[in-house]
Amino acid sequence: MRKTTFLAVLFFNGITLFAQTNDEQTIKAIYKSSLTNSKCYSWLDYLSNKIGARLSGSANAEKAVQYTKAQLETLGLDSVYLQEVMVPKWVRGEKETAYIQDKKTKINVPVCALGGSIATPKNGLTAEVIEVQSIKELETLGNKVKGKIVFFNRPMEPENIETFTSYGGCVDQRYAGAKEASKFGAVGTIVRSMNLRLDDFPHTGAQSYGDIAKSQYIPTAAISTNGAELLSKSLKGNPNLKFYLKMSCQQMDDELSYNVIGEIKGSEHPENIMVVGGHLDSWDLADGSHDDGAGVVQSMEVINIFKNLGYKPKNTIRVVLFMNEENGGRGGKKYEELSQTNKENHIFALESDSGAFSPRGFSFEADDANFNKIVSWKNLFEPYLIHSFVKGHSGSDIEPLTSKSIVKAGLKPDSQRYFDYHHALNDKFDAINKRELELGAATMASLMYLMDQNGIEIVKSKI
């Protein structure tokens, strides 16, 4: 049981009305610091508006590395350094062109190449279209798709309150659709954007050709949800219509890049490392303010809050800005590789990669003992409207971490609007609410503080 120290007590007619524990007082100070003295909004303003899109291997990604490193150096940390990582470099090229060719009519539709796609022929690709709802349906059609463009049109399910559940239910068509369609002789694929609303913004994202031969690679693009609705309706009227697609993207040689790391050494157990982080790269259509500029600056703000409060952590707290989450995950993998080489002991890792909307709680990868311990802190978060403590995925960048005893967590903001912006042209700084961003940083810092003060439960194996 945690020792309770009363710092603030209010009496009335000899009756104790309330008492605040040390934890309550510290968390209150954390939120006050974030809401009145934070730097995260101005940091994000610079990342988004002065640097912009930060696709791995790009000049802007390198600018972001240097900028965030310089900003961390101003905070008076014990160390700030770069960690080398080789990353893929994919270039979109000229703006994509696409239209529906129905008899004598040409209707332009918004599309964008999916990350890692090959280009179409120089003069574009024209072919008939066959619509499917899933990879499973594609497999039932087999060679009927030969010579055609496969149109994956399974929408995100609107009935799920947790929109990431809806995303997970259809993202396989984006990631593996081209690979699977090529096996049956398709010449290209179009994928409905991962978006719950109807609009004209195509959403990019990673796709993979897997282990098929390069000669089987086919171009693949996302189409906006409005475009998908129009194409589906047009196909019902004329199943023999054709679709034109032109893209000039290409895969280049790998580039040297970096994870950016800053840390405060632990005062009691410096050998135990607690990580807080987000990914520094973004897709190239916009500046990636929600995905994941927000997670980057919130993670930096956690350390800034601790410095502002003069908090000296028991364990080493390390902010890690991972490179290449979007199209390879190499930053997280390299961080774990070097962690193993250096025999580092990570006890906790927290990631923010779900946007800058109002925080609602956390998802945890933890055993029952640690999860139950964390859930016992819910009352400390309730004054700040943080209530969701669930088991689930923590984050892609911290997923590779494999220390013997480790708890992982992911910040869970309200997800209802996230996929309006995810990987799209409108994921820009003007979509960010300053207060929500700061509340997320404070919520992360509060959990980091509680984990640092109370440690983790180590379950001894039975002999």
Q: Which residues, including other chains, have CB under 8 Å from residue 163's CB and lie 6 or more apart?
A: 156, 196, 415, 416, 418, 419
Q: How far is CA 298 from CA 129, 183, 354, 385, 415, in A?
A: 44, 43, 12, 18, 17
Q: Count Cβ atoms below 10 Å from residue 338 Cβ, excluding itself.
A: 14
Asked whether the CA dihedral 447, 303, 392, 362 is positive or negative, the reply is positive
Quick one: tokens of 43?
Answer: 């940091």
Residue found by looking up tokens 């490392």 in the block: 273
pTM listed for this prediction: 0.94
Q: Annotate the chain with three-state secondary structure.
A: CCCCCEEEEEEECCEEEEEEEHHHHHHHHHHHHHHHHCCHHHHHHHHHHHHCCCCCCCHHHHHHHHHHHHHHHCCCCCEEEEEEEEEEEEECCCCCEEEEEECCEEEECCEEECECCCCCCCCCEEEEEEEECCHHHHHHHHHHHCCCEEEECCCCCCCCCCHHHHHHCCCHHHHHHHHHHHCCCCCEEEEECCCCCCCCCCCCCECCCCCCCHHHCCCEEEECHHHHHHHHHHHHHCCCCEEEEECCCEEEEEEEEEEEEEEECCCCEEEEEEEEEEECCCCCCCCCHHHHHHHHHHHHHHHHHHHHHCCCCCEEEEEEEECCCCCCCHHHHHHHHHHHHCCCEEEEEEECCCCCCCEEEEEEECCHHHHHHHHCCHHHHHHHCCCEEEECCCCCCCCCCCCCCCEEEEEEECCCCHHHHCCCCCCCHHHCCHHHHHHHHHHHHHHHHHHHHHCCCCCCCCC
In the prediction, which pLDDT does 405 show?
86
Q: Does residue 179 contact residue 197 with C-beta atoms inside 8 Å? A: no
Q: Does residue 116 contact residue 251 with C-beta atoms inside 8 Å? A: yes
In the prediction, which pLDDT does 399 show?
98
Give the residue numbers annotated as catalytic, written as ranges.
325
In the prediction, which pLDDT does 181 show?
98
Amino acid identity, position 66: Q
Quick one: tokens of 44?
Answer: 């994000």
In the prediction, which pLDDT does 459 show?
55
Q: How far is CA 183 from CA 80, 192, 250, 258, 381, in A?
A: 48, 20, 21, 36, 51
Q: Which residues, including other chains, have CB under 8 Å from residue 143's CB and lie 6 or more apart?
A: 184, 185
In the prediction, which pLDDT does 403 show?
86
pLDDT tens, N- to C-terminus, the chain (463 residues): 344 444 444 444 444 444 568 999 999 999 999 999 999 999 999 999 999 999 999 999 999 999 999 999 999 999 999 999 999 999 999 999 999 999 889 999 999 999 999 999 999 999 999 999 999 999 999 999 999 999 999 999 999 999 999 999 999 999 999 999 999 999 999 999 999 999 999 999 999 999 999 999 999 999 999 999 999 999 999 999 999 999 999 999 999 999 999 999 999 999 999 999 999 999 999 999 999 999 999 999 999 999 999 999 999 999 999 999 999 999 999 999 999 999 999 999 999 999 999 999 999 999 999 999 999 999 999 999 999 999 999 999 999 999 888 999 999 999 999 999 999 999 999 999 999 999 999 999 999 999 999 988 765 544 3
Q: Does residue 292 contact residue 325 with C-beta atoms inside 8 Å? A: yes
In the prediction, which pLDDT does 202 show?
98
